[in-house]
Amino acid sequence: MKGKRSFKIMALLIIAVMLMLAACSGGGSNNNNSGGSTGNTSSNTGGQSSNSGNTGSGSGPAEEKPAPMKISIMIPSFSTELPDKSSPVWQRLEEYTNTDLEILFTPNSSYEDMLNITLASGDLPTIMNVGKTPSVISAARNGAFWDITDYLKDYPNLSQAHPVVLNNTSIDGKIYGIYRARTLGRMGVTYNKVWLDNLGLQPAKTIDEFYNILRAFTYDDPDKNGKNDTYGVVITKYTGPWDIMQIWFGAPNKWGENENGELVPDFMTPEYREALKFFRKIYSEGLVNEDFAVMDSAAWNTPFVNGQAGVFVDVADNARRLDNAMQEAAPRDEPYTIVTQAPVGPKGHRDMPTSGWSGMLVISKSKVKTEEELRRVLDFLDKLNDVEMKLLLGYGIEGRHYDMVDGYVVPKENLDAAITQELTGMNQLLMFIGEQEPGFAPTPINAQIAEVQKANEAIVVGNPAEPFVSEVYAQVGQQLDNIIGDARIQYIVGQIDDAGFDAAIELWKKTGGDDYIREINELYKAAKGK
């Protein structure tokens, strides 16, 4: 009897809990709905104004408007606060391109995994941003994407795509996607300006000066607080800074020619070893954060912003982000950061380029069945390269997210987080092909960044093997990269010596590296012969 009663009480409790849960979730969805509807009303006016803009300029795309095309598009995202369909930016984009968009924002850290799983499922979105990874190459060869080589010339913006970059992104000589362009000479060395001034130093012109700055930042109390609590350059698990710095020393960019005109991987060159010795030295002297090999790259900026580290080796435009973060903590009139080109090394002035592209947008055959549909998708991609769209997706809506002053974009300050969110991540849709949009006003830091990136174009070192697709690498690339990547870190922290690094190279050769080198050289000869 007692058991039965407690059973009843239990059942009542469970029902009560379930009802509460239902009520909660119902409330949640209600909230969402109301949020959505307010967004809709405000954006309707936005939509109308852009419409009138279209008729005013007389560049309406078609006489009669077909129904909006449904397009799903998968792109990486770097934030968790992302816009949805209620965002006026999103709605203007749909209005302008006459599409019904579904943007699949995928966290960048797991983008590769999600991409491979999506490819394996066979159910692809209309458009995806992909790199030239083994699974993408095999998907392309098996006919997952449209070959758009012969279509590009028909579109006003897409036809202006750079042939060299297109060649780099091609697979077996065919173009499957439209690349998202990136500044070629994007890298720069960012210093804490306050620390340099405190110590009476100038940004480094040579590697020796660079070393002296690291030492001074570590041992000469650059923040004048009387404590030994600073160090030189901050590095994380992400190996980008090492990759950049070894180029300064004369190491090739991934592949370089030896005296016989054959390509050899960078880590087999003596210059690479010189660079490694330098890294090992600065690590053993404490000029780099000791825990770099285990530090998460999400926290990369933090030590610089908090005044623990004074040098940052990455893309030059990060100087602006670092400055912004420091200004937020304690505003001051002058920028906190100063950014310069790479220091000059023993083999001259060299720096690492980006590959000129960051993924390409491919069109799936599973969603786009006919050529007519393909034309419409290409038209959509072409329109994304219009100046209007570059402004909209890059900077937002004029008067809402930014103002135009003297032909420059000036972002509005202290925007509500909800309004900023309408724009977050949308710039990942852009390919930056064709006519350039008006950019930021040349504030001191922006001017420096632009200057560094412009000057870099003369000193960047290309990767001669960039366009090649290697079968061996497709099979064992990850293991090969791990062998050398791990050995490099072990060498820097002093776990292995030169003999150990040579052993790692031997292992690399045995694991498939020898075949990889042979294959790349065959492709290289064939390409040169042409």
Partner 1 sequence: MDTTINHQADMTDLDPRPSAALPKRRRSKWAKIRKDYWLYILLLPGLAYFIIFKYLPMWGIVIAFQDFSPFLGVLKSNWVGVKHFVNFFNNPDFVRLLRNTLILGFYDLVFFFPAPIIAALLLNEIRVGIFKRAVQTMIYVPHFISMVIVASMTYVFLTTNGGVVNEIIHELTGQRINFLADPAWFRPLIILQIMWKETGWGTIIFLAALASVDVEQYEAAIVDGASRFQRLWHITLPAISSTIVILLILRLGNFLDTGFEQIFLMTNSLNRTVADVFDTYVYQVGIRQGAFSYSTAVGLFKSVVGIILIYGSNYFAKKFGHEGII
- Residues at the site binding partner 1, with contacts judged by CB under 8 A: 112-113, 116-117, 119-122, 133-135, 138-139, 142-144, 237, 289-291, 293-296, 474-475, 477-479, 482, 485-486, 488-490, 493, 495, 507, 510-511
| CB closer to partner 1 out of 139 and 158 | 139
| CB closer to partner 1 out of 94 and 223 | 223
Which residues are CB-neighbours of 43 under 8 A, at least 6 positions away?
86, 87, 88, 91, 92
Which DSSP symbol is given to 178?
A: E
Q: List, as one string, the DSSP characters of 464-488.
A: TTTT---HHHHHHHHHHHHHHHHHH
Beta carbon of residue 294, minimum distance to partner 1 (angstroms, whole number) = 4
Beta carbon of residue 291, minimum distance to partner 1 (angstroms, whole number) = 5
| CB closer to partner 1 out of 229 and 457 | 229
Beta carbon of residue 518, minimum distance to partner 1 (angstroms, whole number) = 19
| CB closer to partner 1 out of 365 and 400 | 365
C-alpha torsion sign, points 171, 174, 176, 179? positive
b/e code 390-415 from CB counts within 10 Å (16+ = b)? bbbbbbbbeebbbeeeeeebeeeeeb
Distances (CA, A) of 509 to 485, 500, 506, 518: 14, 14, 5, 11
Beta carbon of residue 120, minimum distance to partner 1 (angstroms, whole number) = 5
Distances (CA, A) of 119 to 8, 70, 78, 155: 50, 20, 22, 28
CA dihedral 81, 83, 88, 92 (to 10 degrees): 140
Burial of residue 471, with CB atoms counted within 10 A of its CB: 0-12 exposed, 13-18 middle, 19 or more buried: exposed
| CB closer to partner 1 out of 241 and 394 | 241
| CB closer to partner 1 out of 30 and 482 | 482
Beta carbon of residue 371, minimum distance to partner 1 (angstroms, whole number) = 20
Q: List, as one string, the DSSP characters of 260-280.
A: TS-EEEGGGSHHHHHHHHHHH
| CB closer to partner 1 out of 246 and 456 | 246
Beta carbon of residue 509, minimum distance to partner 1 (angstroms, whole number) = 11
Q: 């294959």: which residue's tokens?
A: 519
Structure tokens belonging to residue 452: 């560094």
| CB closer to partner 1 out of 8 and 332 | 8
Residue type at 125? P
b/e code 41-61 from CB counts within 10 Å (16+ = b)? eebeebbeebeeeeeeeeeee
Beta carbon of residue 137, minimum distance to partner 1 (angstroms, whole number) = 9
| CB closer to partner 1 out of 418 and 474 | 474
Beta carbon of residue 121, minimum distance to partner 1 (angstroms, whole number) = 7
| CB closer to partner 1 out of 198 and 475 | 475
The C-alpha atoms of residue 166 and residue 467 are separated, in whole angstroms, by 9
Count of CB atoms situated within 10 Å of the CB of 171:
21
Beta carbon of residue 242, minimum distance to partner 1 (angstroms, whole number) = 11
Residue 252 phi, psi dihedral angles, 5° rounding: -70, 165
Beta carbon of residue 154, minimum distance to partner 1 (angstroms, whole number) = 27
